[in-house]
Amino acid sequence: MLTLNYLHCYFVEEENYDDVYLKYNGKKIWPVNKRMKHIMMDTTTELHVDIKNVEPNQKIIIELWDHDWLSANDHLGSFELLIEEIGGPFTTDMKRNKSETDKAKYTLEWEVN
């Protein structure tokens, strides 16, 4: 089982904060009971998201999205996790989109049980 523990924000895309959510395999996995979560720069947010049925040497892609009220939601980037061993915690930096204006920087902390 893969557990997503923390989302570390170093720089936000928007001016004051990002309204983020996570997706895996096209489905929103976090936050569970809300549309999105406000994330400010230089903060760490607890996730506690479990993804079951992961296989050794499997590549998992977690997408980070910014919710927009008046336009289409923005795909900020993705985290690529290679499940090689049990243990952790491990960290993975977000791979940003190719746009020159993207400034968001996030890191995902995770472990494999």
- The mean predicted confidence, pLDDT, of the chain is 93
Give the range among 12-26, 65-79, 91-105 with minimum mean pLDDT. 91-105
User: In the CATH hierarchy, which top-level class contains the domain 2-112?
Assistant: mainly beta
Read off the pLDDT of residues 42-70 as tens digits, 9 standing for 90 and up: 999 999 999 999 988 999 999 999 998 88
The whole-angstrom separation of Cα 14 and Cα 10 is 12
pTM of the model: 0.92
Residue 42 exposed, middle or buried by CB count within 10 Å (0-12, 13-18, 19+): exposed
HSE at residue 46, side-chain half, CA atoms within 13 A, is: 1
pLDDT reading at 100 higher than 60:
no
| Distance of alpha carbon 37 from alpha carbon 46, whole angstroms | 11
Q: 3-state class of 58 per DSSP?
A: strand
Query: So where are the chain's domains?
Result: 2-112
Share of the chain above pLDDT 90, in %: 81
